[in-house]
């Protein structure tokens, strides 16, 4: 049971990341491969504040400030770029955040931070149930907000700007502001995911914020498609799948668990290649609401 | 102190330049960023490690086999992730090569482990030039980079293939109408890129050891070099690589080496803000 809950926790946390990335890439057309950088900033801010005695709900909310500031700066530096430049520079942002963390002694350097106070620490008996309930409530709130957003006129405008920037501008839509706002809105779930991760797992090391996490989320969103159900499905399949593999291989076959983790990445890579080639819009693509279809 | 740092930067810049030359050719012809470039370099470094250090082949045989196998991997990336996508958006090709990157890196880690390994080259005394210590591997890096630049120059500006490559990079439709097989040119370019990756991988492996993420960590810098030099311009990429290498090496005078990737990111961001079309762009891009 404890194991099922820990998988549910990870699915919840990574689904938050996936929902944020889906808004940016699937709807606003911004292939922001830097969301793990925002996630790391959220996690480290929360952990540092909590280690200095700030209660975790406050440090979770407070972490939004540096995360959103980082997303704003990233947007300022990159939004004038075209698609693939944007992707590579944002990817560079995430890499720069990760490697810089190894150099910041206040963040524990390569060793990271240990002993971060965990969520609901006052209720040891029910802690894990409360944690998973909390992450699912946050996820539900974000999903509902996101569903309303992408079905609103705002979502339609984002997709219009994605489909044809020039046409959207010619119609008087302020596309730079739209794209900037999408980057900021997408940063909110990423930062929350980082905060929850920090106060769930209790220790942070830069290794947890590398390109393989970026890849996991990108593959999940590509598999699921741009609809919210698709995004959640993709995250569940990939996170649940990789955790199940780790679980099955860690009992008795522990010497092979690293091997299976690598094999798992190979499989994800092949799935992503297949999706891009044969089913470009994922398993459950987003359907434009009829109200906006015109 | 500063001289030896600059020298370190030039050595780093030479390796970046080799990766960037292949990257920029593909960027210019296929119009997308090949994220698998770093993994291709890693593959080359590990093939050399396998043939030379594990199987104990002589250097020349190991080198030949390394170039051949690396080219096979690089062509694999082309035929799996690039060619079937045809004219789809650069971003989907970028994501497809990202998938290739993850697959290659994981296969390398499965085959040879994740720990840093070395070629076990015989230890030799460094040469000394006025207080600057230069190892044999560093001399090999300088010579090889010079040779690659020279061969690339002959290939691009003095051969029939090069004329067709430049035509395709300039106006693909016109080139097609003129009877050039764009597909075949692309394959040639990917093979040239494979040789660049193999060479850079072997030299970087000899200099700093092999580990699965060795190429990934160069990718960002190589992108900065490509943008600095102007996309599609291999000689610009060499200059861009040297600038990026020296910037990263001399930055350690002021800030901790832990921020090297952040410096590379800064160089890339500044390059894109100041010279989005590169330092040496002319009307034709060459």
% of chain B exceeding 90 in pLDDT: 53
* Identity of the highest mean pLDDT range in A156-160, B84-88, B145-149: B145-149
Q: Looking at residue A161, what is its pLDDT? A: 86
Q: Which of B28, B83, B103 to mutate to test the interface with A (most CBs of A within 10 A)?
A: B103
Cβ of B102 within 8 Å of Cβ of A277? The answer is no
pLDDT reading at A183 higher than 60: yes
**A168 pLDDT exceeds 90?**
no
A89 lies within 8 A of chain B by CB: yes
pLDDT of residue B230: 85
Provide, rounded to the nearest whole percent, the portion of chain A with pLDDT above 90.
49
**Contact predicate A91/A34, CB 8 Å:** yes
> SS3 for B210?
strand
CB A34 within 8 A of CB A93: yes
A40 in B contact zone (CB under 8 Å):
no
User: Cα-Cα-Cα-Cα dihedral of A5, A129, A193, A181, to 10°?
Assistant: 120
Among left, alpha and beta (phi > 0; psi -120 to 50; other), residue B171 is beta
* Cα dihedral B222, B90, A261, A36 sign: positive
Q: Determine contact, residues A94/A37, Cβ cutoff 8 Å.
A: yes
* Phi, psi angle pair for B210, to nearest 5°: -110, 140
Predicted confidence at residue B40, as pLDDT, reads 97
Phi, psi of A119 (to 5 degrees): -65, 145
Q: Is residue A28 within 8 Å of residue A157, measured between CB atoms?
A: no
Q: At B21, which helix (H) or strand (E)?
A: helix B2-30
Nearest CA to B17 out of B142, B135, B158 is that of B142
B197-242 pLDDT tens trace: 999 999 999 999 999 999 998 998 999 899 888 888 899 999 999 9
Among residues B16, B29, B13, B7, the alpha carbon closest in space to that of B187 is found at B29
pLDDT for res B42: 97
- CA A214 to CA A93: how far, in whole Å? 12
Note whether A272 contacts B99, CB cutoff 8 Å: yes
A186 or B87: which leads in pLDDT: A186
pLDDT in tens, A252-275: 444 566 777 788 889 889 999 999
* Model confidence at A145: pLDDT above 90: yes
B128: helix, strand or coil: strand
Regarding an ipTM greater than 0.90, the answer is no
Nearby residues of A142 by Cβ (< 8 Å), 6 or more positions away: A16, A19, A188, A189, A192
- For residue B281, name the pLDDT band (cuts at 50, 70, 90): low
Confidence (pLDDT) at B173: 84
B73: which 2 tokens?
Answer: 């991997």
Residue of chain B nearest A271, judged by CA positions: B99
How much is the average pLDDT of B40-46?
A: 97
Mean pLDDT, chain A, integer: 88
- Taking the C-alpha atoms of residue B259 and residue B236, their distance in angstroms, rounded to an integer, is 26
How long, in residues, is chain B?
Answer: 286
What pLDDT is recorded for position A104? Answer: 82
pTM of the model: 0.89
CB contact under 8 A, B80 and A93: no
Mean pLDDT for chain B?
Answer: 89
Inter-chain CB proximity B269 and A83 less than 8 Å: no
Strand partners, B133: B128
| pLDDT at residue B283, as a whole number | 39
Residue B89 gets which letter from DSSP?
-
Residues within 8 A of B (CB atoms), A 236-265 only: 258-259, 262-263, 265
Q: Which residue of A has its CA nearest to B85?
A: A277
Residue B211: Cβ within 10 Å count: 20
Contact A77, A89 (CB under 8 A): yes
| A45 pLDDT above the threshold of 90 | yes
Higher-confidence residue of B122 and B54: namely B54
Are the beta carbons of A103 and B258 separated by less than 8 Å? yes
Using only the alpha carbons of chain B, give its radius of gyration. Answer: 18
A241 pLDDT exceeds 90?
no
A19 CA: distance to closest CA in chain B (Å): 18
Categorize the per-residue pLDDT at A185 as very low, low, confident or very high, splitting at 50, 70 and 90.
very high
Q: What is the pLDDT of residue A252?
A: 44
The dihedral built from the CA positions of residue A224, A230, A231 and A237, taken in this order, carries a sign that is negative
pLDDT in tens, B70-128: 999 999 999 999 999 887 788 889 999 999 999 999 999 999 988 999 998 888 888 88
What integer pLDDT is reported at residue B129 of this predicted model?
82
- CA–CA distance, B45 with B66 (Å, rounded to integer): 8
Number of cross-chain residue pairs from A and B with Cβ atoms under 8 Å apart: 121
**pLDDT higher at A289 or A38:** A38
pLDDT at residue number B279: 64
- Cross-chain residue pair B259–A100, CB shorter than 8 Å: yes
CB contact at 8 A, B9 and B179: no
Q: Which of A81-85, A110-114, A228-232, B27-31 has the highest mean pLDDT?
A: A228-232
Rounded to whole angstroms, how far apart are CA atoms A154 and A146?
11
* H/E element, A32: none
CA nearest to A197, candidates A187, A209, A185, A186: A209
Closest CA to B107 of B51, B196, B43: B43
pLDDT at residue B284 in the model: 43
CB-nearest to A280 from B92, B258, B265 is B92
Q: What is the CB neighbour count within 10 angstroms for residue B31?
A: 16
Q: Are the Cβ atoms of B103 and A96 closer than 8 angstroms? A: no
Residues A87/B91, Cβ–Cβ less than 8 Å: yes
Residues in chain B within 8 Å Cβ distance of A207: none
User: Is the Cβ–Cβ distance between A99 and B259 less than 8 Å?
Assistant: yes
Q: Which two structure tokens, joined as six digits, stand for A57?
A: 């709900």
Query: Residue B40 contacts by C-beta under 8 Å, 6 or more apart in sequence?
Result: B70, B73, B74, B77, B104, B193, B194, B197, B201, B215
**Residue among B100, B259, B273 minimizing CB distance to A103:** B259
For chain A, the residue count is 294
What's residue B286's pLDDT? 43
């Amino acid at each position: 049971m404890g194991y099922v809950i820990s998988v549910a926790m990870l699915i919840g946390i990574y689904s938050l990341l996936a929902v944020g990335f889906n808004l940016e890439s699937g709807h606003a057309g911004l292939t922001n491969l830097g969301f793990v950088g925002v996630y790391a900033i959220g996690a480290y801010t929360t952990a540092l504040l909590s280690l200095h005695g700030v209660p975790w709900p406050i440090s979770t909310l407070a972490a939004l400030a540096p995360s959103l500031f980082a997303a704003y700066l990233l947007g300022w530096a990159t939004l004038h770029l075209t698609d693939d430049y944007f992707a590579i520079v944002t990817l560079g942002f995430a890499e720069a955040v990760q490697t810089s963390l190894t150099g910041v002694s206040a963040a524990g350097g390569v060793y990271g931070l240990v002993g971060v106070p965990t969520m609901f620490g006052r209720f040891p008996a029910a802690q894990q149930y409360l944690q998973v309930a909390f992450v699912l409530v946050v996820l539900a709130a974000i999903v509902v907000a996101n569903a309303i957003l992408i079905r609103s006129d705002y979502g339609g405008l984002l997709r219009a700007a994605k489909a044809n920037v020039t046409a959207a501008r010619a119609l008087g839509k302020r596309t730079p502001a739209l794209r900037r706002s999408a980057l900021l809105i997408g940063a909110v779930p990423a930062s929350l995911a980082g905060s929850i991760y920090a106060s769930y797992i209790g220790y942070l090391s830069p290794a947890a914020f590398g390109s393989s996490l970026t890849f996991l989320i990108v593959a999940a969103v590509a598999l699921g498609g741009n609809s919210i159900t698709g995004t959640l499905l993709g995250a569940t399949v990939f996170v649940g799948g990789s955790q199940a593999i780790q679980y099955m291989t860690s009992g008795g076959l522990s010497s092979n668990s690293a091997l299976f983790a690598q094999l798992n990445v190979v499989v994800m890579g092949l799935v992503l290649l297949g999706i891009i080639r044969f089913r470009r819009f994922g398993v459950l693509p987003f359907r434009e609401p009829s109200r906006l279809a015109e | 102190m500063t001289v030896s740092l600059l020298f370190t930067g030039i050595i780093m810049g030479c390796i970046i330049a080799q990766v960037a030359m292949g990257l920029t050719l593909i960027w210019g012809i296929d119009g997308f960023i090949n994220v698998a470039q770093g993994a291709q370099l890693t593959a080359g470094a590990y093939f050399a490690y396998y043939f030379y250090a594990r199987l104990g082949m002589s250097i020349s045989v190991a080198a030949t086999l390394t170039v051949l196998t690396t080219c096979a991997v690089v062509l694999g990336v082309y035929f799996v992730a690039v060619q079937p996508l045809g004219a789809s958006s650069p971003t989907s090709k970028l994501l497809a090569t990202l998938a290739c990157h993850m697959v290659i890196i994981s296969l390398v880690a499965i085959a040879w482990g994740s720990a840093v390994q070395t070629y076990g080259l015989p230890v030799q005394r460094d040469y000394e030039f006025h207080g600057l210590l230069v190892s044999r591997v560093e001399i090999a890096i300088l010579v090889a980079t010079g040779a690659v630049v020279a061969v690339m120059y002959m290939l691009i500006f003095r051969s029939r293939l090069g004329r067709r490559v430049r035509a395709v990079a300039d106006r693909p439709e016109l080139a097609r109408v003129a009877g050039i097989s764009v597909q075949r040119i692309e394959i040639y370019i990917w093979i040239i890129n494979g040789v660049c990756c193999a060479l850079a991988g072997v030299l970087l492996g000899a200099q700093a050891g092999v580990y699965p993420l060795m190429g990934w960590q160069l990718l960002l810098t190589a992108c900065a070099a490509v943008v600095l030099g102007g996309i599609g311009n291999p000689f610009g990429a060499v200059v861009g690589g040297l600038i990026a290498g020296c910037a990263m090496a001399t930055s350690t005078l002021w800030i901790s080496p832990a921020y090297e990737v952040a410096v590379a990111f800064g160089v890339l961001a500044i390059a894109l803000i100041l010279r989005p079309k590169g330092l040496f762009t002319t009307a034709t891009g060459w």
